[in-house]
C-alpha cells in the first residue's frame, strides 16, 4: 500500500515538473492547446503558423517567443509583414516541434505531423 501511495505521489509531481504534454498538429488543422491555438499551413518554399491565445485559457495575445525545432536545430520564428502569421522560410520534410512561450514563462509544445 505504501508503494502504491508513493507511486501516485511521485507521478503527480513528476508530471507537474515536466509541463504541458505536447499537442499533435497536422497540416491545415486548427488545434487548440491549453495556452495557444495554432494552425500550420505548409507551402512550397515556406511554412506559415497562425497563433492566437487559447479560448480555453481566455488569452488574447501572441506568444513571447516562438521556436521551431527541426532535426535538432532551433529556429526563432518572427511574424510576417502582415503581422498575421509566423513564418519558417523552408519546407518541412520531417516531424518538427513548435514551442511557444508566454510572458510569464509558461510554455506549450505542438508536434507537427508531416504526411
pLDDT at residue 25 is higher than 80: no
Q: Where are the domains of the chain?
A: 22-113
Q: Measured between alpha carbons, how far is 95 from 27 in angstroms, rounded to an integer? A: 11
CATH topology of domain 22-113: Immunoglobulin-like (2.60.40)
Residue 83, phi-psi category: left (phi > 0), alpha (psi -120 to 50), beta (remainder): left
Burial bucket for residue 107 (CB in 10 Å: 0-12, 13-18, 19+)? middle
pLDDT tier for residue 13 given thresholds of 50, 70 and 90: very low
**Tens digits of per-residue pLDDT, 30-44?**
888 888 888 888 888
pLDDT at residue 98 is higher than 60: yes
**Tens digits of per-residue pLDDT, 41-60?**
888 888 888 888 777 666 66
CA-based R_g, the chain, Å = 16
pTM of this structure: 0.70
How confident is the model at residue 57, as a pLDDT? 65
Q: How many helices (H) and strands (E) does the chain have?
A: 1, 10
Percentage, residues of the chain above pLDDT 70: 76
Count Cβ atoms below 10 Å from residue 8 Cβ, excluding itself. Answer: 10
| Mean pLDDT across 101-114 | 85
Amino acid at each position: 500500500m505504501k508503494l502504491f501511495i508513493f507511486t501516485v505521489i511521485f507521478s503527480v509531481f513528476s508530471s507537474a515538473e515536466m509541463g504541458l504534454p505536447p499537442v499533435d498538429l497536422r497540416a491545415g488543422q486548427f488545434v487548440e492547446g491549453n495556452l495557444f491555438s495554432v494552425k500550420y499551413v505548409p507551402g512550397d518554399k515556406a511554412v506559415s503558423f497562425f497563433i492566437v491565445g487559447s479560448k480555453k485559457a481566455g488569452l488574447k495575445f501572441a506568444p513571447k517567443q516562438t521556436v521551431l525545432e527541426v532535426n535538432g536545430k532551433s529556429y526563432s520564428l518572427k511574424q510576417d509583414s502582415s503581422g498575421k502569421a509566423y513564418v519558417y522560410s523552408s519546407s518541412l520534410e520531417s516531424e518538427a516541434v513548435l514551442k511557444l512561450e508566454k510572458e510569464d514563462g509558461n510554455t506549450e509544445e505542438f508536434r507537427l505531423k508531416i504526411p
